């Protein structure tokens, strides 16, 4: 049997990296699931993402705990305990050799061997992978700030329909808004909830700064680990935080705006719907939080180092 070229298969190019599925480590190009998997056909799947920066996982325990809660709510079963999950993720990164990595764990409903339509008959499928680190914002946007549009015509799926604390791929609201934003010249977007309050964007939470205090939506949004880290930084630095309803007016009158995600960290927003935020430069408080966030990535209290030279721990 010939091995396909790593990174290229069936005319498609894949990023470098290492995946784990069905008990085996594979190059990304070989990690593929069936088109019959309900994860694809019904978006019946949950996931979590964590990043590795300079060879260290950031707050991996919190990501594994959130993944575990999502699995339980969806009644998905993964055969690994928390320590085994951690070892698999570390091993994906170790084998990939990536010092800065985007690491994902997911579990799909899978498919039923008898093709029954009963989700209880499905064999759940766990997949993990490490690929090069990716960010919502590119280098220029991190320095100068993102150009964000608040989109009013598409509303976030309400929490009564899909529990936003289950990290999920129900993104048609977010993707539809993204295309509307691109048409209007935006670099990224946030959408509102059904009550007209500010919700979140494609894979990130949002914060407004007003007179030295932070304001961020609480209901109907995923409680991001980066958002949580901003709370921890704010506590350390003595900054006031209000998690609750954030109105469109509050966002439009903010002194500073930033967005938060594992994919990018703390990202300044300097234009909102074509109007400059504050003086049009990343704000003072945003920059302080940004610096502290990345400083904490070197701190053993918040991180787990990957031993790249270590022997294979998981087979
Ligand atoms: C992942 C995600 C976020 C950000 O969460 P982090 O844990 O900070 O990466 C925000 N909103 C949605 C919808 C997400 O999927």
Q: Could you state, in order of their start, the residue ranges of all structural domains in the chain?
A: 18-132, 139-298
Residue 264 in contact with ligand 1 by CB distance below 6 A: no
Ligand 1 centroid vs 40 CA: distance in angstroms? Answer: 20
The pLDDT score that the predictor gives to residue 12 is 73
Residues 172, 254, 218: CA angle, nearest 5 degrees: 50
Encoding tokens for residue 128? 């993990």
Beta carbons of 136 and 147 less than 8 angstroms apart: no
Query: Where are any strands of DSSP class E within the chain?
Result: 8-9, 12-13, 18-21, 24-27, 45-53, 56-58, 101-111, 123-132, 146-155, 188-192, 205-210, 213-216, 241-243, 256-261, 265-272, 275-276, 303-305
| Tens-level pLDDT at each residue, the chain (315 residues) | 334 445 666 677 888 999 999 999 999 999 999 999 999 999 999 999 999 999 999 999 999 999 999 999 999 999 999 999 999 999 999 999 999 999 999 999 999 989 899 999 999 999 999 999 989 999 999 999 999 999 999 999 999 999 999 999 999 999 999 999 999 999 999 999 999 999 999 999 999 999 999 999 999 999 999 999 999 999 999 999 999 999 999 999 999 999 999 999 999 999 999 999 999 999 999 999 999 999 999 999 999 999 999 765 544
Residue 200 in contact with ligand 1 by CB distance below 6 A: yes
The pLDDT score that the predictor gives to residue 14 is 83
- In this chain, the answer to whether the domains covering 18-132 and 139-298 adopt an identical fold is no
The pLDDT score that the predictor gives to residue 9 is 64
| Whole-angstrom Cα Rg for the chain | 20
Residue 191 in contact with ligand 1 by CB distance below 6 A: no
Query: What is the assigned CATH class of domain 139-298?
Result: alpha beta
Question: Chain centroid to CA 51: how far?
Answer: 9
* Residue 235: closest CA among 169, 174, 280, 292: 292
The pLDDT score that the predictor gives to residue 315 is 43
Question: Longest Cα pair distance anywhere in the chain, in angstroms?
Answer: 65
Buried b (16+ CB within 10 A) or exposed e, 230-240: beebbeeeebe
The pLDDT score that the predictor gives to residue 2 is 38
User: From CA 102, how far away is CA 19, in angstroms rounded?
Assistant: 12
Residue 63 in contact with ligand 1 by CB distance below 6 A: no
Encoding tokens for residue 209? 């700064």
Ligand 1 centroid vs 158 CA: distance in angstroms? Answer: 16
Ligand 1 centroid vs 188 CA: distance in angstroms? Answer: 15
> Which residue minimizes the CA distance to atom 13 of ligand 1?
203
Residue 187 in contact with ligand 1 by CB distance below 6 A: no
- For residue 51, list its beta bridge partners: 102
Query: What is the assigned CATH class of domain 18-132?
Result: alpha beta
The pLDDT score that the predictor gives to residue 115 is 87
User: From CA 230, how far away is CA 135, in angstroms rounded?
Assistant: 17
């Amino acid at each position: 049997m010939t091995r396909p070229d790593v990174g290229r298969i069936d005319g498609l190019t894949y990023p470098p990296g290492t995946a784990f599925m069905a008990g085996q480590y594979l190059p990304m190009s070989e990690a593929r699931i069936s088109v019959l998997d309900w994860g694809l056909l019904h978006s019946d799947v949950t996931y979590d993402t964590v990043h590795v920066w300079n060879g260290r996982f950031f707050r991996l325990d919190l990501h594994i705990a959130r993944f575990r809660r999502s699995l339980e709510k969806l009644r998905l079963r993964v055969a690994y305990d928390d320590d085994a999950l951690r070892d698999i993720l570390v091993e994906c990164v170790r084998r990939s050799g990536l010092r800065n990595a985007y690491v994902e764990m997911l579990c799909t409903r899978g498919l039923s061997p008898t093709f029954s339509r009963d989700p209880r008959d499905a064999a759940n499928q766990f997949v993990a992978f490490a690929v090069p680190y990716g960010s919502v914002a590119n280098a220029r946007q991190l320095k100068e700030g993102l150009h964000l549009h608040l989109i009013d015509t598409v509303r976030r799926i309400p929490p009564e329909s899909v529990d936003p604390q289950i990290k999920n791929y129900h993104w048609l609201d977010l993707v539809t808004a993204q295309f509307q934003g691109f048409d209007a010249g935006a670099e990224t977007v946030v959408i509102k909830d059904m009550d007209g309050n500010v919700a979140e964007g494609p894979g990130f939470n949002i914060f407004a700064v007003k007179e030295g205090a932070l304001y961020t939506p609480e209901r109907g949004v995923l409680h991001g680990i980066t958002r949580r880290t901003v709370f921890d930084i704010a506590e350390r630095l003595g900054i006031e935080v209000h998690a609750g309803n954030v109105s469109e007016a509050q966002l439009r009158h903010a002194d500073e705006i930033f967005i938060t995600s594992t994919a990018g960290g703390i990202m300044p927003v300097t234009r909102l719907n074509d109007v400059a935020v504050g003086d049009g430069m990343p704000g003072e408080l945003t920059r302080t939080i940004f610096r502290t966030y990345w400083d904490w990535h070197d701190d053993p209290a918040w991180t787990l180092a990957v031993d790249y030279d270590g022997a294979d721990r998981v087979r």
